[in-house]
Amino acid sequence: DPTPVVVTVTGAAGQIGYALLFRIASGAMLGPDTPVRLRLLEVPQAVQAAEGTAMELDDCAFPLLAGIDVLDDARAAFDGTNVALLVGARPRTAGMERGDLLSANGGIFKPQGEAINAGAADDIKVLVVGNPANTNAYIAAAHAPDVPKDRFTAMTRLDHNRALAQLAARTGSHVDDIRHLTIWGNHSATQYPDLTHATVRGTAATELVDPEWVERTFIPTVAKRGAAIIEARGASSAASAANAAIDHVHTWVTGTRADDWTSAGVVSDGSYGVPEGLVSSFPVTSTGGAWAIVPGLEVDEASRARIDASVAELVEEREAVRALGLV
Ligand code: NAX
């Protein structure tokens, strides 16, 4: 039997955790031939709830599930980890200043970065879901100097999938007919869902939809979808977020299809004018377990302005965490 892949999920007792763990254990993330060993990391007060989820995982009798540990210690949780899904974060509460939000998350992602640095497996892959995801990934990476920077990623796959769904609905096509959509920048309302390179069944998307729909409907609908879900459901997106996390890691491990790319927050190498070192969303391909930013795309003037605006927000967040001494 192959050695199980160790998958650590933080925030395991939360709502995304509940939607995520069963799919990982069923093989949806790493495939039907890869056994997994789950490590659930929670804060002490939520360990009991995570143990309840572990009981339910046992009760599924998943053939691929090699074992489950529930832990409240980051060092133990990331020891030997191959895939880390950092979901647990401090949410912004009413009236909270950005500095307080970043400080609270620095208090989570700094020690987790250190624990990954200390004990994770050599092939560690990290996906940060917990918000502010890009900057949390930046903080974790900064505290893991021995881990290659390209192993730290932030999730914009949910935004990507939302953009696919909106464009498919508008063009009367199926999501699988669409290629080359991109989410640029921060996983926030400033993100830029870009269809200037997208095709629908081989036809340029820009020939199928009018610019006014793109500006007034497509971009804001994708960027504000999280708020719309909260409004409708009375709770933030959980199953779709978990699904996107599964998609992100699955693509990372198995690769993108030949004629397409996807979107992920990765550490910038300076491409497209995004300052080196920032964790920003780009069009990316995955081959052999490594992401690469798609090179050489033409960026029109309107796209340039939108990318710059979202990247400016990332720069501000980086300055704020520097000023707070978090990196
Ligand atoms: P919940 O509040 O349901 O769960 C969060 C869990 O994290 C809680 O059980 C909490 O005890 C745990 N936690 C807090 N600090 C921890 C620590 N230091 N170590 C381990 N666990 C810790 O939130 P949920 O709805 O599951 O959302 C989780 C995060 O995902 C939030 O930050 C949310 O903003 C973010 N999201 C990110 C998305 C993305 O596309 N990148 C989309 C969905 C979601 O909004």
Task: Give the pLDDT confidence of 56-91 residue by residue, as tens digits.
Answer: 999 999 999 999 999 999 999 999 999 999 999 998
Percent residues over pLDDT 70 in the chain:
100
Q: What is the pTM of this model?
A: 0.98
**The pair of three-digit structure tokens given for residue 130, joined into one six-digit string:** 């917990």
pLDDT, residue 284, reads 99
pLDDT, residue 98, reads 84
Beta carbons within 8 Å of 28's beta carbon, 6+ residues apart: 246, 250
Would you say residue 94 has pLDDT above 90?
no
Task: Give the pLDDT confidence of 120-161 residue by residue, as tens digits.
Answer: 999 999 999 999 999 999 999 999 999 999 999 999 999 999
Q: Is 297 helix (H, G, I), strand (E, B) or coil?
A: coil
Task: Give the pLDDT confidence of 162-198 residue by residue, as tens digits.
Answer: 999 999 999 999 999 999 999 999 999 999 999 999 9
For the CA of 111, the closest atom of ligand 1 is: 18
Give alpha helix (H) positions in the chain.
Answer: 15-26, 47-59, 74-77, 98-119, 133-142, 157-171, 211-213, 219-223, 225-233, 239-254, 301-323
Element (H, E) at 86: strand 83-86
**The pair of three-digit structure tokens given for residue 247, joined into one six-digit string:** 């998609």
pLDDT, residue 92, reads 82
Whether residue 185 has its Cβ less than 6 Å from ligand 1: no
Amino acid at 258: A
Whether residue 41 has its Cβ less than 6 Å from ligand 1: yes
Catalytic residue check, 187: yes
Would you say residue 93 has pLDDT above 90?
no
User: Given 187, 197, 248, 250, which residue is catalytic?
Assistant: 187
Mean of pLDDT over the chain: 97
For the CA of 155, the closest atom of ligand 1 is: 41
Instruction: For residue 281, list its beta bridge partners.
Output: 185, 265
Whether residue 87 has its Cβ less than 6 Å from ligand 1: yes
User: Separation of 319 CA from ligand 1 center, angstroms?
Assistant: 24
